[in-house]
């Protein structure tokens, strides 16, 4: 439930830093901050110029105006602020205690501690941003690479919402034509034929399909590509992981079974986020703990978007490696022939007998040679081989994709009903449902409970 009280929260991450920021928004913003802020002159905060920074001190009225900290106060009067309300940001020194004490002081003076995401929620409820832009805020905060940031920024600037609203306008215009003919049959109104209705729906369906075509790429850029490194024990998986990370993240020894659990790290390749997972060596074992690690490695092999299979090329092929290659051949798999510099016993021709692979390449994980093949595979998966700068809207949010697919289904149903000769009432029902589902994406038609759920994902102070 939206309330018009005044909220406050710390907007900077916890810990010691140069500056700490406490954000305040609401109708009593100037009154509450003004009661603890002492600056030169007698002009009250609300009378001071908008979009200015005021220098002064935070004082505690209950301790004879004892100075708590030297601060800067940023004034942003509504509706031209982030929340479209009066907003003040108190910029103090970035210690843990001082930021917390200033917040406690503001709460004591009448502010309420903001809920997670409440500042952005107020911006949405006050009409400054739509729901796609609100969700873009958290995507920007959580962006894992330059490309995922670019997708989120494009969503924040309203490009996606604009495209969806254009589709909704075309749908509501069509609905209006059809409903007038239903509600006022006696009026001399030119009716749309079913063929004309279908002709209007097909371009709309094409636009929806065009947006849905970006969904896979958008999800990969937003969430990262799950890349599992698999192979038998001691093949060089952990050495490869360390070479890609350029640090000794995984323990490397000559003892088989050293890695008993999966290690996950995030890296960026060509601006694309990659979730790199070093798995336990796959082999038959009686060790209970190692067996659990092997089972988990097989799970990652099954669900990974890219599989990197590491083979020790300096030794003859083992039964474990043959089984791994056969299983991995059904995936988007790169086979790295490790330790090839020591004298290759296994070649690319040997590996090719076990199935189709995205690439087979000799490498030396110990000195980092031959890693470019992985970068090529990542680019191929996301862009078809060439990295692009995102210049148009893209679907990356699961909620958006699901609703867009549902709207597509409704329009396809409408076209099927037209072809089947069903009455116009059926067509209107399906088209209106699609219009409402697209409105759920932008927040133009949305339940309050879902709004609360969406904004609960945000951090405090945002």
The Cα angle at residue 53 between residues 50 and 58, in degrees rounded to 5: 115
Asked whether the beta carbons of 306 and 334 are under 8 A apart, the reply is yes
Which parts are annotated binding residues? Answer: 23, 89, 128, 234-239, 253-259, 278-281, 338-341, 462
Q: Is the dihedral of CA 430, 434, 435, 440 positive or negative?
A: positive
> Is residue 367 scored above 90 in pLDDT?
no
Residues of the chain with CATH 3.40.50.300: 223-383
pLDDT, greater one: 146 or 183? 146
**How much is the average pLDDT of 124-137?**
90
CA–CA separation, 138 vs 152, rounded Å?
9
Q: Cis link prior to 79 (omega < 30° from 0)?
A: yes
pLDDT, greater one: 417 or 449? 417
Residues of the chain with CATH 1.20.120.430: 136-214+395-443
pLDDT confidence bin for 250, thresholds 50/70/90: very low
CA–CA separation, 279 vs 300, rounded Å?
8
136-214+395-443, which class in CATH? mainly alpha
Which parts are annotated binding residues for (6S)-5-formyl-5,6,7,8-tetrahydrofolate? Answer: 23, 89, 128, 462
Give φ, ψ of 370 to 5 degrees.
85, 15
**Running DSSP on this structure, what letter comes out for residue 331?**
S
> Is residue 258 scored above 50 in pLDDT?
no
Which parts are annotated binding residues for GTP? Answer: 234-239, 253-259, 278-281, 338-341
- pLDDT at residue number 261: 62
- pLDDT at residue number 252: 41
Q: What is the 3-state secondary structure (H, E, C) of 112-151?
A: EECCCCHHHHHHHHCCCCCHHHHHHHHHHHCCCCHHHHHH
Query: Mean pLDDT across the chain, nearest whole number?
Result: 85
- pLDDT at residue number 184: 58
CA–CA separation, 326 vs 410, rounded Å?
41
Q: Which of 160, 98, 198, 127 is nearest to 414 (CA)?
A: 198
- pLDDT at residue number 451: 60
Tokens encoding 90: 């108190």
**How much is the average pLDDT of 308-318?**
90
Q: Which fold has domain 223-383?
A: Rossmann fold (3.40.50)
Residues of the chain with CATH 3.30.1360.120: 7-129
Question: What does the DSSP assignment read for 370-412?
Answer: TTHHHHHHHHHHHHTTS-----S-----HHHHHHHHHHHHHHH
> Is residue 32 scored above 80 in pLDDT?
yes
Against a cut of 0.85, is the pTM above it?
no
Asked whether the beta carbons of 1 and 448 are under 8 A apart, the reply is yes
| pLDDT tens readout for residues 151-170 | 888 889 888 999 999 999 99
Which parts are annotated binding residues for K(+)? Answer: 234, 253, 255, 258
**Running DSSP on this structure, what letter comes out for residue 271?**
T
> Is residue 369 scored above 50 in pLDDT?
yes
Which parts are annotated binding residues for Mg(2+)? Answer: 238, 259
Domain 7-129 homologous superfamily, CATH: Probable tRNA modification gtpase trme; domain 1 (3.30.1360.120)
CA–CA separation, 79 vs 212, rounded Å?
35
């Amino acid at each position: 439930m939206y309330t018009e009280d005044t909220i406050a929260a710390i907007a900077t991450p916890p810990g010691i830093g140069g500056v700490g920021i406490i954000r305040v928004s609401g109708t009593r913003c100037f009154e509450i901050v003004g009661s603890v802020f002492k600056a030169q002159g007698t002009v009250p905060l609300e009378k001071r110029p908008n979009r200015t920074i005021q220098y002064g001190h935070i004082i505690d009225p209950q301790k004879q105006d004892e100075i708590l900290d030297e601060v800067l106060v940023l004034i942003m009067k509504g509706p031209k602020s982030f929340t479209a309300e009066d907003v003040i940001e108190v910029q103090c020194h970035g210690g843990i205690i001082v930021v917390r004490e200033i917040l406690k002081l503001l709460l004591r003076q009448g502010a309420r501690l903001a809920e997670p995401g409440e500042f952005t929620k107020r911006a949405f409820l006050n009409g400054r941003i739509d729901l796609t832009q609100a969700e873009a805020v958290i995507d920007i905060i959580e962006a894992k690479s330059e490309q995922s940031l670019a997708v989120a920024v494009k969503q924040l600037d309203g490009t996606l919402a604009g495209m969806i609203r254009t589709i909704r306008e075309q749908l509501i215009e069509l609905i209006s034509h059809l409903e007038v003919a239903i509600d006022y049959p006696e009026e001399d109104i030119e009716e749309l034929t079913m063929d004309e209705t279908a002709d209007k729906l097909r371009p709309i369906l094409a636009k929806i399909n065009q947006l849905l075509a970006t969904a896979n790429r958008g999800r990969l850029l937003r969430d990262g590509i799950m890349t599992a490194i698999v192979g038998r024990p001691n093949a060089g998986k952990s050495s490869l992981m360390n070479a890609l990370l350029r640090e000794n993240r995984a323990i490397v020894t000559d003892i088989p079974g050293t890695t008993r659990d999966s290690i996950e790290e995030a890296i960026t390749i060509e601006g694309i986020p990659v979730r790199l997972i070093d798995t336990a060596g796959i082999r038959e074992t009686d060790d209970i703990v190692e067996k659990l690690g092997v089972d988990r490695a097989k799970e990652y092999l099954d669900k990974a978007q890219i599989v990197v299979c590491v083979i020790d090329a300096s030794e003859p092929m083992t039964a474990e490696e043959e089984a791994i290659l056969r299983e991995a051949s059904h995936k988007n798999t790169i086979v790295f022939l490790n330790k090839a510099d020591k004298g290759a016993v296994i070649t690319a021709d040997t590996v090719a007998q076990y199935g189709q692979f995205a690439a087979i390449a000799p490498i030396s994980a110990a000195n980092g040679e031959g890693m470019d093949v992985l970068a090529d595979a990542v680019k191929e998966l996301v862009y078809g081989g060439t990295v692009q700068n995102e210049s148009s809207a893209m679907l990356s949010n699961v909620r958006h994709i699901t609703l867009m697919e549902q709207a597509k289904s409704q329009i396809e149903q409408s076209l099927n009903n037209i072809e089947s000769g069903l009455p116009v009432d059926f067509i209107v029902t399906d088209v209106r449902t699609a219009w409402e589902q697209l409105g759920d994406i932008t927040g133009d038609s949305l339940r309050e409970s879902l709004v609360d759920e969406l904004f609960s994902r945000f951090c405090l102070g945002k």
